A and B are shown apart, each in its own frame.
Chain A
Amino acid sequence: MTPFELLEPVSIKEALGLLDPDDPSIRPVGGGTALMLMMKAGVFRPTRLISLRRVGGRLSGIKAGRDGGLTIGAMTPLAALEHSADVARVAPVITRAMRRLSNVRVRNVATVGGAIAHGDPHMDLPPVLIALGASVTVISPTGERTIKVEDVLTGYYETALEKNELIAELTIPAQGARRSAYIKFTAGSFEDWPALGVAVSLEADGDTVRSATVVASAATAKAVRLTGAEGALKGARIDDKTLARAGDAGAQEAEVISDVRGSAPYKRELIRVHVGRAVRQALAQNGATH
């Protein structure tokens, strides 16, 4: 790593003032676990890093809303999500996913905002958040805007965030009767990055799906909704045939990429199988954990 200027603003306003919309060598840093990897590999050489760890305010804390949703500060460490009773109540799929998300040390340091802003398609949290219908509030010197997480991610390590924008908080809407599941399929060791992540969130009457959100990640350049699979599930009775149809639709529509974790044709097969498995897992969350 090479020297850079490290600044630690104490307010959002101050932090925003230190960003530069035209200088890619200036970046905000949350926990830094992902950014440090890029810096150590020499693929990112910052001139200035703006640490958000002292900002506080709306960037920190998990708040349960009266509407049954959650507002989570962007600087909340993943471990805080993992151990939050509110998160376990509103979105137990997050609590479950945390168990296999990287490792304890990373979860202690990495932040919710960083997991989204980094744009890495292998991360486990974005597909889950998309399935939950979450959005982020983004602040820039000129104001703030709300973006759905699925719209934040625009490509492989690419996001819709401007260089002078910061994620302030994450909002997870009330889930009502929706049930969710996330499956992480690893091709190497158990603790490998996923070859495929599939997140499903659905609402069902008995075994008929009212609506479903299906998200694929890791096998694709970004976490992405599989709307064909969603369509195959909507209004359908859950049986092997429906799940096969949804899996086929997902496998067909996803733009999968080959890498060391598997070939594209194989990953398509993984999608085909795991859409159905994730739906079954979601249904198995019979609401008792809510």
Chain B
Amino acid sequence: MATITGAQGGAKIGSQIGRSLPRLEARDKVSGRAEYTHNLRLPGMLYGKIFRSTIAHGRIKSIDTSAAKKIPGVFRVVTAEDIRTVIPHPYYGPAFHDQPILAIDKVRFVGEPVAVVLASDPHVAEQAVQEIVAEYEELPAIYDEIEAMTSKVFVHDELKPAGAFADLKHLTGRKNTNIALDFKLRRGDVEKGFAESAHVFEHTFHTQKVLHLAFEPFVSIADAKPSAVTIYTSSQGPSFVRVEIARLLGLPENRVRIRVPYVGGGYGSKLYIKLEALVTALSLLSRRPVKISLTMEEQFYQITKHPCTFRIKSGLDKDGRIIARKCEVYWNGGAYADVGPRVTQKSGFTASGPYDIEHVHVDSYALYTNVTPSGALRGFGIPQLVWSYESHTDMIARALKIDPVAFRKKNILRKGQKHATGTPVNDAPLEAILDRIAARLNWGKPFERGNGAVKRGRGLAIAIKAVIAPTTSVAILNVTADGSPILYCGTVDMGQGSDTAMAQIVGEVLNVPAESVRVVPRDTDITPYDMGTLGSRSLFHMGHAVRMAAEEARAKIAALAREVGEPEGSNVPVAELFKKKYGMQAGNIVGSGTYKPDYIAPQPGTGLTTNVAPFWMVAGAGAEIEVDTETGKVSVTRLINVVDCGRPINPKIVETQISGAALMQFGFTMFEKMHIDGGQVTNASLADYKIPGILDVPAVMENETIDSIQTNGPFGAKGVGETATFCVAPAIANAIDDAVGVRLTELPLNAEAVYRAIRAQQNKPLEDE
């Protein structure tokens, strides 16, 4: 077979997988020249600034835009009425068509877009927004997910699931409820299990509202022309955006073009429709390109992580085996469903944790409330669940006086055993990860406990996630006449290094250096369908599609070689083959690949299936901490992350992903919190919503990928973007308990929370406000 050599130089087979190649776009990024939507300006472009609701729930009585319109330089002020002239049914959403482009009749959260000012000068637009006056008839509002279960306040009059999902159909038209989805998993008979148990433990955990806070804030530009609509957007899912905008406009997909350059951080926030529908409507109305760039403050009103309340109850036999577990999970979805119902279901699957339990009962509820909508955030609900079940695990172990590692080993899922869903766990080395964490922590050996006001402790946690399924990726590989390959794939490189990893896969198949592969920026006119860059799915799904495309191209090159008379196994450069065939430097070879894994939908009612996902993601974390008992301040002195990502395609990028994911979750664990008072976010800025900085990084961080192969993965690999987020919070909470004997059941584990717990334990509780 011919190999591609020449301009690219030769590369040994097997040389591209496992290379710690610097990112392909590294030079563009360090020189400040990488393209982001943030930087883009089009001729004649108008800037839109959003006027937002100041109340959490209410009927819109009037919107007075007259003063805003009078400000010199204002092009137009737009409300929902105007939007309806170009998009008659302006509701969008990935699971429910519940979110209006601009508020119609009602507002449902503080910060909801109500009107937009368009101007050539963004300062003018911003000034004019201040002149808009809206009058509302305030309605009672709900903020808490538990209250939302039974409240007589309803965020929506009627549920409007999108047509596409069979498992949401039963919700259509449901009224007088805030439950957007009720997912159930039933395995065995949980009540029987509890009846047979020697010990039963029940605990309730809570997680707070936090947000992604990407440094490139949400930004989209639409340029609507009669021939086609082009949208430039900082999005993780260009294919979804195209489908949804086409639906809203009643256009075929090929009249909508989505372009995504590099994305300045996503973490799950820039999925589905965010500003894209709004700028499209504004461009249609103004007949000009329109750009909306959110400020950092406005990001607090776009999308957040789900706050979650998790009631978990476990029954154990006298030997410490968990035989029954009941999980009630309440997801605070905010005012619009976004992808909340998917989080509710897909994470609900694994709410009972990485343990072998005979009787499992899961109820997972997506709830509407009057706060900023919640969506996907690096883990798709799993970090909230792991926080709860791994805290619960340690609490049980402590109560039964069983060593926490030994307790986990007694119950851990082992190879081939069936997970609660009924799907066997293969390629999920949970026990090996637990062993590595324990070994790194010197578990079982003496540990320095601190002195004076400072006490030390250590803790660990393990977790499992089923990747979202079933999803599809398509890739096209174009080998040009000089042999240089161009890859077209819709995976968005938002920092995770996907362009580089995909290029390595191409390089491996075609036996060329990965850096010789050009990965074109995402453009739905050019790059084929991909479900979305989310849930750590891309390396596996798109990786397979890219591999298949490259293999097809490789086969076609071999066929070309035969056609031009090269003997089998000849080493003639591809450029020569093209020249022989076409008489000059001309032609292309195009390979394509489409990948959709096998999947068996869960049975309605029980949620059971023998194939819930094509791969499992498993992780563990260990933490050593110090507590200043006089202030409650916790310092994490050592944070250990061990994950399984199969065979790392690019070990350096994998380590950065592990470390970055763990540090992001570290912020969510230690101090990040959106403070909400009467529906108002009171700390909507980077001054008051703090994220980890360089001085917050634990003194010692250890990141390890366990030696393993994902049998069905491309080159044995699978995704790792989220994995290291799972276990950080419970590992630290367990370490705090180890240090000072107090148990926190609510995030964040900030100094005041720890201090209050210490005081409560001393029977000297600190008074409230």
Point out residues on A near B: beta carbons under 8 Å.
1-3, 37, 42, 185, 187-193, 258, 260, 262-266, 269-270, 273
Given contacts A1-B123, A260-B683, contact A189 B692 (CB under 8 A): yes
A192 contacts B690, C-beta separation under 8 Å: yes
Could you pull out 11 A-B pairs where Cβ atoms are within 8 angstroms?
A185-B631, A187-B752, A188-B750, A189-B692, A189-B695, A190-B693, A191-B695, A265-B766, A265-B769, A269-B755, A273-B631
Ranked nearest first, the 9 interchain pairs of A and B with the lowest CB-CB distance are A188-B690, A190-B695, A189-B690, A188-B671, A260-B683, A266-B752, A273-B630, A192-B690, A260-B675
Question: B714: shortest Cβ distance to chain A, in Å?
Answer: 38
Question: A185: shortest Cβ distance to chain B, in Å?
Answer: 7
Known interface pairs A188-B672, A266-B752; 13 further A-B residue pairs with C-beta atoms within 8 A, sorted by A's residue number: A42-B126, A189-B671, A190-B695, A258-B769, A262-B752, A263-B752, A264-B769, A265-B767, A265-B769, A269-B755, A269-B766, A270-B631, A273-B630
- Bound-state CA distance A281–B23 (Å) is 47
Find chain A residues with CB under 8 A from B675 CB: 260
- Bound-state CA distance A258–B767 (Å) is 13
- Bound-state CA distance A193–B671 (Å) is 13
1/0 per residue, CB under 8 A from A, across B666-705: the answer is 0100011101000000110001101111011000000000
Find chain B residues with CB under 8 A from A260 CB: 673, 675, 682-683, 688
B130 (CB) vs chain A CBs: closest residue: A42
Find chain B residues with CB under 8 A from A262 CB: 751-752
Question: A76: shortest Cβ distance to chain B, in Å?
Answer: 24
Question: B454: shortest Cβ distance to chain A, in Å?
Answer: 13
B753 (CB) vs chain A CBs: closest residue: A266
B697 (CB) vs chain A CBs: closest residue: A190
Partner of B696, one of A37, A189, A193: A189
1/0 per residue, CB under 8 A from A, across B646-661: the answer is 0000000000000000
Find chain B residues with CB under 8 A from A193 CB: 687-688
A189 contacts B691, C-beta separation under 8 Å: yes
Question: A156: shortest Cβ distance to chain B, in Å?
Answer: 15
Find chain B residues with CB under 8 A from A42 CB: 126, 130
Instruction: Tell yes or no: B568 within 8 A of A by CB.
Output: no
Question: A59: shortest Cβ distance to chain B, in Å?
Answer: 28
Question: B469: shortest Cβ distance to chain A, in Å?
Answer: 37
Find chain B residues with CB under 8 A from A37 CB: 687
Instruction: Tell yes or no: B359 within 8 A of A by CB.
Output: no
Find chain A residues with CB under 8 A from B755 CB: 266, 269
B692 (CB) vs chain A CBs: closest residue: A189
Question: B21: shortest Cβ distance to chain A, in Å?
Answer: 33
Instruction: Tell yes or no: B172 within 8 A of A by CB.
Output: no
Interface residues of B in 71-85 (CB under 8 A from A): none
- Bound-state CA distance A192–B696 (Å) is 11
- Bound-state CA distance A263–B751 (Å) is 11
Main secondary structure of the interface of B (DSSP, over half): loop
Instruction: Tell yes or no: B768 within 8 A of A by CB.
Output: yes
**Which of A190, A262, A265, A266 has the most CB atoms of chain B within a 10 A radius of its CB?**
A266
B769 contacts A263, C-beta separation under 8 Å: yes
A122 (CB) vs chain B CBs: closest residue: B687
Instruction: Tell yes or no: B571 within 8 A of A by CB.
Output: no
Instruction: Tell yes or no: B756 within 8 A of A by CB.
Output: yes
Instruction: Tell yes or no: B127 within 8 A of A by CB.
Output: yes
Partner of B693, one of A187, A191, A258, A265: A191
A266 contacts B690, C-beta separation under 8 Å: no
Question: A192: shortest Cβ distance to chain B, in Å?
Answer: 5
- Bound-state CA distance A2–B128 (Å) is 10
A2 contacts B766, C-beta separation under 8 Å: no
- Bound-state CA distance A42–B49 (Å) is 14
- Bound-state CA distance A188–B685 (Å) is 13
- Bound-state CA distance A270–B631 (Å) is 6
Question: A277: shortest Cβ distance to chain B, in Å?
Answer: 9
- Bound-state CA distance A105–B631 (Å) is 31
- Bound-state CA distance A273–B675 (Å) is 26
Find chain A residues with CB under 8 A from B673 CB: 260
Question: A12: shortest Cβ distance to chain B, in Å?
Answer: 32
- Bound-state CA distance A233–B767 (Å) is 28
1/0 per residue, CB under 8 A from A, across B726-769: the answer is 00000000000000000000000011100110000000001111
Find chain B residues with CB under 8 A from A192 CB: 671, 690
- Bound-state CA distance A190–B769 (Å) is 24
Find chain A residues with CB under 8 A from B672 CB: 188
Question: A251: shortest Cβ distance to chain B, in Å?
Answer: 12
**Which of B631, B682, B750 has the most CB atoms of chain A within a 10 A radius of its CB?**
B631
- Bound-state CA distance A91–B763 (Å) is 43
A266 contacts B766, C-beta separation under 8 Å: yes
Find chain A residues with CB under 8 A from B633 CB: 185
B129 (CB) vs chain A CBs: closest residue: A42
B633 (CB) vs chain A CBs: closest residue: A185
Find chain B residues with CB under 8 A from A266 CB: 752, 755-756, 766
Find chain A residues with CB under 8 A from B692 CB: 189
Question: A262: shortest Cβ distance to chain B, in Å?
Answer: 5
Question: A188: shortest Cβ distance to chain B, in Å?
Answer: 3
A186 (CB) vs chain B CBs: closest residue: B690
Find chain A residues with CB under 8 A from B768 CB: 263, 265
A42 (CB) vs chain B CBs: closest residue: B130
B628 (CB) vs chain A CBs: closest residue: A273
Partner of A2, one of B123, B682, B690: B123
- Bound-state CA distance A63–B625 (Å) is 46
- Bound-state CA distance A120–B675 (Å) is 21
B767 (CB) vs chain A CBs: closest residue: A265
Question: B749: shortest Cβ distance to chain A, in Å?
Answer: 12
- Bound-state CA distance A258–B683 (Å) is 13
A263 (CB) vs chain B CBs: closest residue: B769
A1 (CB) vs chain B CBs: closest residue: B123
- Bound-state CA distance A143–B631 (Å) is 48
Question: B700: shortest Cβ distance to chain A, in Å?
Answer: 17
Find chain B residues with CB under 8 A from A263 CB: 752, 768-769
Question: A274: shortest Cβ distance to chain B, in Å?
Answer: 8
Question: A98: shortest Cβ distance to chain B, in Å?
Answer: 15
- Bound-state CA distance A1–B673 (Å) is 28
- Bound-state CA distance A3–B768 (Å) is 45
A40 (CB) vs chain B CBs: closest residue: B295
Find chain A residues with CB under 8 A from B683 CB: 260
- Bound-state CA distance A76–B631 (Å) is 36
Question: A122: shortest Cβ distance to chain B, in Å?
Answer: 9
Find chain A residues with CB under 8 A from B691 CB: 189
**Which of A185, A190, A258 has the most CB atoms of chain B within a 10 A radius of its CB?**
A190
A266 (CB) vs chain B CBs: closest residue: B752
Question: A191: shortest Cβ distance to chain B, in Å?
Answer: 5
B695 contacts A187, C-beta separation under 8 Å: no
A262 (CB) vs chain B CBs: closest residue: B752
- Bound-state CA distance A2–B126 (Å) is 9
- Bound-state CA distance A262–B631 (Å) is 12
Find chain B residues with CB under 8 A from A2 CB: 123, 127
- Bound-state CA distance A283–B693 (Å) is 31
Find chain A residues with CB under 8 A from B751 CB: 187, 262
Question: B471: shortest Cβ distance to chain A, in Å?
Answer: 36
B687 contacts A190, C-beta separation under 8 Å: no
A103 (CB) vs chain B CBs: closest residue: B693
- Bound-state CA distance A258–B130 (Å) is 29
- Bound-state CA distance A40–B76 (Å) is 23
Question: B218: shortest Cβ distance to chain A, in Å?
Answer: 18
- Bound-state CA distance A258–B675 (Å) is 12
Find chain B residues with CB under 8 A from A189 CB: 667, 671, 690-693, 695-696
- Bound-state CA distance A260–B208 (Å) is 14
- Bound-state CA distance A66–B188 (Å) is 87
- Bound-state CA distance A151–B88 (Å) is 62
A258 (CB) vs chain B CBs: closest residue: B769
B769 contacts A187, C-beta separation under 8 Å: no
A264 (CB) vs chain B CBs: closest residue: B769
Find chain B residues with CB under 8 A from A270 CB: 631
Question: B747: shortest Cβ distance to chain A, in Å?
Answer: 14
- Bound-state CA distance A2–B768 (Å) is 42
Question: B67: shortest Cβ distance to chain A, in Å?
Answer: 14
A185 (CB) vs chain B CBs: closest residue: B631
Question: B440: shortest Cβ distance to chain A, in Å?
Answer: 25
